[in-house]
Amino acid sequence: MSRPSAPPASGQAPGDPAGAAASAGAAPAPARPADHFADAAEVITRFAAHGYIADTRIATAVFLAERLQKPILVEGPAGCGKTELAKVLADALGTQLIRLQCYEGLDEAKALYEWAYPKQLLYTQILRDKIGELLAQTRTLGDAVAALAAQDDAFFSEKFLLPRPLLSALRAERRVVLLIDEVDRAEAEFEAFLLEVLSDFQVSIPELGTLRAAHVPLVILTSNNAREMTDALKRRCLYLNVGFPDAAREQAIAHARLPGAPARLVADVVRVVQALRQLDLKKNPSVSETLEWVRALLILSADELDRGLCVDTLNLVLKYEGDLERAHEKLGELFPAAGTPASAGRTKPS
């Protein structure tokens, strides 16, 4: 896709040969990525450059969300790349990622803004003489209260405002990516508050009035399905379910994240992980755990996965004893010719 040419440097006229000659020896400044996508195919390409293997379904959702200025609600098992999607989106667009981590008890003040009360108190102490002069001009208690009330703007101004993630995203000087992570962990009351913010991308602060977003952020909400999201929130968003990838895509993800890993080792690990997910496990191995397993095997200088090495390191992807027992019963099918483990002669680090 053709890109517009960069504007001339400050003080240099377009086509100025002298300016061109002067800058010939200087290293060109790295170009900032375009702040939009031309189509879903470009999403795939630019995500891949940052190590994220997106399929057409993910790429289409990202492209439409960017064009329609709608949030994406991304649901799926933990460790399947939901949070990473927002991080790579920010990298691909060359913009800032602002993250709001949700948790039980999260309220509007912690997500939107707070007043810097210690700073306000410090200023009142520093300005107490000035305040004394102001009150000295009053005769009655009512006059004194009115005089102080008239100075509210001095202490409830943007100088004393502490923006939290939501307000920071709305006030950013350029469009940012706002990640509202694990929204299902917050209470339903906070979800209702989010609906107000995401509908108009503006907030009302009693002391300052209504603050509107200068640039509508790209919003990614993630959920691990700890609870069902309301229909109202889902209507506001594009919906995307990110589940476990198939074997081919999981191998591609592993090679993108761990380019030095041997192809045989990656294929072996993915084959085993894919088989484990077919069992009745308490917790299926996530993609992040697949990558962790390959990383650990590289440390052990392994170039393939045999039964012995699998038994020794299976606890990297299975974290419950019952799951390990079920997996051990399956190993005979996964390694049918493993009577003599190839790992028997491999030297393990002590």
Which residues lie closer than 8 Å to 209 by C-beta, 6 or more apart?
none
Domain interval for residue 85: 40-110+175-241
Tell whether 192 and 55 lie within a shared domain: yes
Intervals of the chain under pLDDT 70: 1-33, 115-137, 139, 141, 143-160, 206-209, 337-350
Report how far residue 234's alpha carbon sits from residue 152's, in angstroms, rounded to the nearest whole number.
Answer: 40
Q: Which of 214, 241, 268 is where one domain is finished? A: 241
Q: Which helix (H) or strand (E) holds 115?
A: strand 113-115
Residue-wise pLDDT for 217-257, tens only, equals 999 999 998 888 889 899 999 999 999 999 999 999 999 99
Q: Which of 226, 241, 256 is where one domain is finished? A: 241
Q: What is the dihedral of CA 91, 96, 97, 99, to 10 degrees?
A: 170
Q: Which helix (H) or strand (E) holds 241?
A: strand 238-241
Q: Global pTM?
A: 0.75
Predicted confidence at residue 344, as pLDDT, reads: 40
Tell whether 227 and 329 lie within a shared domain: no
Nearest alpha-carbon partner for 221 in 109, 94, 101, 111: 101
Burial of 322 from C-beta contacts in 10 A (0-12 / 13-18 / 19+): exposed
Predicted confidence at residue 26, as pLDDT, reads: 52
17 in a domain, yes or no? Answer: no
Q: Which of 160, 189, 218 is where one domain is finished? A: 160
Using alpha carbons, list the distances in angstroms from residue 4 to 1, 34, 181, 324: 10, 10, 35, 56
Tell whether 74 and 203 lie within a shared domain: yes
Predicted confidence at residue 149, as pLDDT, reads: 61
11 in a domain, yes or no? Answer: no
Using alpha carbons, list the distances in angstroms from residue 274 to 7, 296, 302, 327: 51, 18, 20, 12
